[in-house]
Amino acid sequence: MSWSKVIWFFSNAGPIDIIGPLMLPLGIGLVLYQCNYWYILLKALWRRYRGEPMPRLDAKSQLPVVATVPSLLRNRGELEAIEAAIESLLGNEYPGPMTIAACVDGTNERPELYRELKRWVKGLEITDPHVRVFVAGHHPRRGKGVAIDTGILEVVRRVESGAIPPEHAPVVFFNVDADSELSPGAIELMVHTLLRPSRLTGAPAMVVTSHVAVPKKHYWKGWRHLFSTPGIIALSVAREYAVSLGLGRNNSRLLPHCGASGALYCTWFEVAEAAPKYARFMMKLTVKDWLRWWIGEAPPSFEAQRGSLEPLPEAIAGMGDDTWMTWFAMAARVRPDRSIDFEYPRTPMHAAWRALVTYFARPFRYDHRAKIYTATPTAVKALFKQRIRWNISRIWTVHRWYPGLAFAWTVGLPALLDVVLVTAFHIMIVVGILLMPFMKTPTMWFAVLILVEMAFFVERSLSTIFALFVDGTLRKNARLLLALPTAGIFHFLFNIFTTIVGFFRLVMGFGYNSGFSPERTLILGGSSRIALAYRATRAFKLAVRSAVRGDVPFGLWWFGWQATPWTKNGYAGWDGPPKRPKPPSAPPVVEPVSTPVAHPPMAVPARVSSVVEQRARTSAAPPPY
């Protein structure tokens, strides 16, 4: 169909004729992403009828866990945030051995705060001999993924040195955002969900994610606050979290989930420990390996190369680092002895069979009872930037991880389908918006907008009520329903529009610098840019030089991003000059990680400081992570 026919259709059709194609993405989304809501509702009603108690771990299932709490630690607010997160973990009353690692990314940024954090940890009053807390860090700043790996390396060193007894060596890995507080028993609930055997295969899960929520004291501060921009944004985000990061995380929908919330998730410690080496292994995969696999050769073996591989944690850093870890875990399997099998399927037929089995016995799970409370940016600019990073990170991660996805269909198929669908939906929306001016009269524009808003309002109203009822907080959080009248506008501005802007910058433009990792980390990790405009511009400059000087040989590398004798790396120069001079500070700390900390047997502090209130006061600033 030619563009002239499409324009003719828009200029002669009525609102109902136009609304059909534009509502197609909503209909497909309802089927693939939300048709399980009625099943979740019926399941919640059955649980309440039976009065099921909260599950508890028996002595055999109380596995040792480690929780990493990464932070940039750039100001006192972030110091208070990481202290609050640690206190929240200590007060969670996990019955088994627990190690908490505060991971500082860039100890030389504010060395006085780093030393203060170490003193605070050393002074913690801990009576349980099964609980340990320490601080680890590195400098200069290298990214969240590297900070987490620094903490993991310190845990391994302490186990090898005997500072952590072998029986307390971590088996389960948790990542906890440094600006959050956990609900009571969240750690135990997630370990229980991780261990629960599948009814189909008998295998435990590989990843468990939590219910991310905005506390009521953050989104509701009275009616006057409601009619302010921060109040509207906070209320809208809280309602959205209840649906998308609560009800929507349940992995019983038609299109499987493949992305854990970075605020709080858990997997097996062996997965987190192997991730840096696996990242190096993944970078060595080529299209030739994949083609040989299709004609009968065995795929590359991670276990065969594991001993000779140098860890590359920088390859984990960047946008979507939590999604990367989730996909890595979902591509692996737990053996009967609880060791992890990282090998790819032997043939494409085996890959298809494994993908079919895991479609019904899903390795990704969600526990709505395990909550983590976090604040949200309440300034338009800060929230807009956050949503761009969130909404395009899946595209960035698919581009980053596609060599592994080509072998691991258990995660590759749903991840690729999800990206394709979301991209197609937004292209349809953009086309519809661009063709709006060709409609007969402005009255028809208004009619189409009213129909779209009505459909969206009904869908959001039902999903919000369902989410609050399933969560058991319908009466407590009923004020979230006040965000429904503006839900359509909010969704368009901070989800649809940010995705469109991010897509064009990431794919069609010159790339998107989220600032989540410094440029040296992206370069060392071998990160690549889609950035078609950047590649075309680079090729044009090289073509001009080749024509003028004749010293540049032609090649497909003209359209690449890597450094050459004639070009710099595509990420060089992204950091730019600092926006403000750094305050004077003491000489930088030289140790890469802290020394073991002894904990005297005293009582756990009762106070858990409210990091949410502090984040609400500084909501315009980006979060620690």
Asked whether the CA dihedral 341, 345, 350, 351 is positive or negative, the reply is: positive
pLDDT above 90 (res 30): no
Mean pLDDT value across the chain: 85
Count Cβ neighbours within 10 Å for each residue of 592-616 and write b for 16 or more, e otherwise.
Answer: ebbeeeebeeeeeeeebbbbbebbb
Q: What is the pLDDT of residues 461-487, one digit of tens each?
A: 999 999 999 988 999 999 999 999 999
Q: What is the pLDDT of residue 438?
A: 67
Q: What is the pLDDT of residue 85?
A: 94
Q: What is the pLDDT of residues 335-368, one digit of tens each?
A: 888 889 999 999 999 999 999 999 999 999 999 8
> What are the counts of helices (DSSP H) followed by strands (DSSP E) for the chain?
23, 10
With cut-offs at 50, 70 and 90, classify the pLDDT of residue 18.
low
Q: What is the pLDDT of residues 431-467, one digit of tens each?
A: 777 776 666 666 666 777 777 778 788 888 999 999 9
Q: What is the pLDDT of residue 428?
A: 77
Q: Report in angstroms the alpha-carbon separations of 369 from 213, 328, 351.
A: 11, 25, 33
Q: What is the mean pLDDT of residues 24-34?
A: 78
Check residues 427 and 66 and name the one with the higher pLDDT: 66
* Dist CA 625 CA 621 (whole Å): 11
| First-residue to last-residue Cα distance in the chain | 47
* Dist CA 365 CA 368 (whole Å): 10
With cut-offs at 50, 70 and 90, classify the pLDDT of residue 584.
very low
Q: What is the pLDDT of residues 73-108, one digit of tens each?
A: 999 999 999 999 999 999 998 999 999 999 999 999
Q: What is the pLDDT of residue 198?
A: 93
* Dist CA 398 CA 110 (whole Å): 35
* Dist CA 53 CA 185 (whole Å): 13
Q: What is the pLDDT of residue 1?
A: 53
Q: What is the pLDDT of residue 590?
A: 40
In 486-609, alpha helices (H):
487-491, 497-503, 519-524, 532-548
Q: What is the mean pLDDT of residues 160-180?
A: 94
Share of the chain above pLDDT 70, in %: 86
Q: Is 470 exposed, middle or buried (0-12, 13-18, 19+ CB in 10 A)?
A: buried
Q: What is the pLDDT of residue 105?
A: 94
SS3 string of 346-358? CCHHHHHHHHHHH
